[in-house]
Structure 1
Amino acid sequence: MQYSFVVFSLVLFISININAQKSYKRTYYDSGKIKSEGWTHNNKKIKYWTFYYENGRVEKEGHFQQDKPIKYWYFYTVNGNKKSEGHFVDGKKNNWWLFYDDMEKINHKCQLKDNQKNGYCLMYKNEKLVAARKYKAGKRIKEWTDFKSFRKENNLSDLQ
């Protein structure tokens, strides 16, 4: 009886360890083209992942921890141009994010908290700062169209 319990425990331990191993996964579109690739542990995304459009270009890439995006991510258009980039914290967009126009020039950059604009957004046109906006929990609360008035009303260290 004791021998069978030890054998059963050993088999259970080995099968759990085998299933808990890290593995590199790839998923594919019905066409056979790669859709995503990256590491998993216990069937949850971990480490670096890359996702692709069906045309083969990269859609987005970044790190996961326990199936949630973390750290710095990059997003691209279907044509391969930069679309946006920024920080994830525990699966949500946080800190500064950059957003690009069709020419891959910064259109605006915003402070985000839990997927919402929260802080400043700096608006650009032809690589020149044209406006600044302040948001709280996704709602715009103020806008400036000249740097002098913006600087007068704000602490520039908040932009870091």
Structure 2
Amino acid sequence: MKTLIITIYLLIQFNVSTETFYKKNYYDNGVLKSEGWVINDQKTKYWKFYYPNGKLEKKGHFYKNEATKYWYLYYENGKKASEGHFINGQKNKWWLFYNQKGEITHKCQLKNNQKNGYCLMYKNEKIISATKYKAGIKIKKWTNLAAFKKENSLNDLRD
């Protein structure tokens, strides 16, 4: 009987400590600051963050308090600023960057928050030049798309 009581107590403690709940945080003025899921006092699953003006700042997934999967980040005016993949809290793979009008300005391959691979520059949403990076260091630049295509396979742009 004593073993059964201890087992039940441990199961209750385990269930309480792994409870998942939805949490909302607010600025001092009452405006929503962030909202999302928490498990064991760590951000998990889907979260949204807001500027003090109430506009969306960013949204994406967490796993054990680290950003993961695909994220969207926004300017205070509500236009998209960037979007891309997080792995273990670090920007990785392709990231797209936009100006305050919402037009794409560049698209870069990142690894652990650094440019690592190709970075394509856009004007009027068309590629105008390209640069190649290794661990954040520029190793090659092409001043137009034709020169880039001449030296590179477009398959190199896949993730």
Match of 2:120 in 1: 122
Match of 2:82 in 1: 84
Separation of aligned partners in 1, 2:11 and 2:58 = 37
Give, in angstroms, the shift of residue 19 of structure 1. 2.3
Q: Deviations over 1:44-72 (max 9, x none)?
A: 11110000111111100001111111111
Instruction: Tell me the number of residue pairs that the alignment of Structure 1 and Structure 2 aligns.
Output: 158
Match of 1:133 in 2: 131
Separation of aligned partners in 2, 1:31 and 1:15 = 36
Q: Deviations over 1:60-91 (max 9, x none)?
A: 00011111111110000111111000011121
TM norm structure 2: 0.93
Separation of aligned partners in 1, 2:17 and 2:26 = 22
Runs of 4+ in 1 over 4 A off after TM superposition: none
Other structure's SS at 1:56 match:
coil
Match of 1:158 in 2: 156
Match of 1:142 among 140, 149, 155: 140
TM norm structure 1: 0.92
Match of 1:33 in 2: 31
One-letter amino acid matched to 1:98 = L
Give, in angstroms, the shift of residue 131 of structure 1. 0.8
Separation of aligned partners in 1, 2:31 and 2:147 = 52
Separation of aligned partners in 2, 1:74 and 1:107 = 16
Give, in angstroms, the shift of residue 8 of structure 1. 4.5
